[in-house]
Amino acid sequence: MAVAAKAFQLWRTRIAPQDTVTEVCRTAGIKRSTLAQQLVRGKVAVSTVVAIARGYGLPVVDALAEFNGFEDLPAGVSPPTDAELLSQVSHIDILRLLVARSDDTESAWTDEELGLAPFPHTGSVRAWIEAIDPGDLRQQLASTTGVARQNLSAQLTAGRLAPWIAVEAGRIAEVSLASGLVVTGLLTPEEGGWPENARAEALHSVPDLELVILARDRLDVLGKQLRRTELDDRRDRALWENLG
């Protein structure tokens, strides 16, 4: 769900009454043709609103709250849960910590030295959904959004999730409404209220057994993804061979 072009135009005029569309695009770092196409279609991408808000130095969460479907976003921002934080730690970093613990070198690391890879990482969106799932999240999302479950699965497989669906997932799971926008890369961690070293702190607090289980689960997901990719490659090669 994008925002209505009419609502966008009213908002744009309010935050930059003296600026032309060209000047707004230049300030936001977006192409004028991109915005023009969105306006013609009558729907403006949420990412466009975010880019313009950043360009004008406006709080992004408050800017999004100006539009239908995001009104409760500022009030719904809260610190991420440990499960959410861990979902945004890559399998490589989990394995690195396991090795450090086995070598008894973890105690020498600070959060900065741990050097967690930035996120979103590969699989961020699916990992986040699984971390907040009360048991029937996909079913509830399909029911409340009207998006078929197979379409939701397709988005997760592709590592993406529409902003309005990500916010709705937060509502259903009763976590921060900004978390889904952070893990999809629409908002920065700072904009979404994620503390700077929170992921490292959450990772360090995981006991050895739970860390091993977490690593196992991540590697299992990775293995399934690699098998799927390999099967797709085989089908593509077979198709080209038949065509050739």
Determine the pLDDT at residue 226: 79
Residue in the block written with tokens 């990482």: 121
pLDDT digits (tens, 9 = 90+) for 158-170: 889 999 999 999 9
Higher local confidence (pLDDT), 107 or 18:
18
Determine the pLDDT at residue 66: 96
CA 218 to CA 225: how far, in whole Å? 11
CA 109 to CA 230: how far, in whole Å? 37
- In sequence order, which ranges of 88-123 are alpha helices (DSSP H)? 91-102, 111-114
pLDDT digits (tens, 9 = 90+) for 118-151: 888 878 999 999 999 999 999 999 999 999 999 9
Determine the pLDDT at residue 108: 47
Determine the pLDDT at residue 113: 53
CA 158 to CA 156: how far, in whole Å? 5
Return the HEC string of 181-207. Answer: HHHCCCCCCCCCCCCCCHHHHHHHCCC
Whether the pLDDT of residue 106 is over 70: the answer is no
Determine the pLDDT at residue 231: 77
pLDDT digits (tens, 9 = 90+) for 52-89: 999 999 999 999 999 999 999 999 999 999 999 999 99
Determine the pLDDT at residue 117: 86
Q: Can the peptide bond before residue 120 be classed as cis, meaning omega within 30 degrees of 0? A: yes
Where in the chain are the domains?
3-71, 82-219
Determine the pLDDT at residue 103: 80
Whether the pLDDT of residue 114 is over 70: the answer is no
Instruction: Please state the rounded mean pLDDT for residues 167-196.
Output: 96
Whether the pLDDT of residue 112 is over 60: the answer is no
Whether the pLDDT of residue 111 is over 50: the answer is no
Instruction: Please state the rounded mean pLDDT for residues 5-27.
Output: 96
Rounded percentage of the chain residues whose pLDDT exceeds 70: 95
CATH of domain 3-71: 1.10.260.40
**pLDDT confidence of 107, banded at 50, 70, 90?**
low
In terms of Cβ atoms closer than 10 Å to its own Cβ (0-12, 13-18, 19+), residue 107 is exposed
CA 112 to CA 121: how far, in whole Å? 18
Determine the pLDDT at residue 67: 97
This prediction's pTM:
0.85
